[in-house]
Amino acid sequence: MLDFLNLRKKKKVLVVEDDLHIREMLVAIVKTFGFEPIATPDGGEACTLAASQQPAIILMDIMLPTVSGVDAVFLIRSNPKTKDIPIIMCTAKNKIEDVEKSLAAGANDYLTKPFEVEQLRAKIGKYLAIEP
């Protein structure tokens, strides 16, 4: 069996969430998974951080200040440096049109809040080819 913690060492996860408490919770969860979290409350800054930090995966909310999560996904996909980074939308928006817009912009997956920690672990593991 693969050593999940050792495979994750130094892999960065970009957490994009404007709600401070949810952002802090996601950062804590990502740390327990053994990843190095990078966090921002802003979609525009997420695009900059994705390019400069090259995270292994991005967890993106939809409702963000200045640049929405959907627009940030589109911008990240438009940049050759960041176009292949997996993006999981983590949002309270649960309407089918929100899912469709996110996937059309280039998100890889969609997780509706509230979610179980194991659901998040499974999604991250799927895109980083790491067993939980």
Over residues 45-55, the pLDDT tens digits come to 999 999 999 99
Question: How is the chain split into domains, by residue range?
Answer: 9-124
Residues near 74 by beta carbon (within 8 Å), at least 6 away in sequence: 105, 106
Q: Is the pLDDT of residue 1 over 50?
A: no
pTM for this predicted structure: 0.91
CATH number assigned to the domain covering 9-124: 3.40.50.2300
**In residues, how long is the chain?**
132
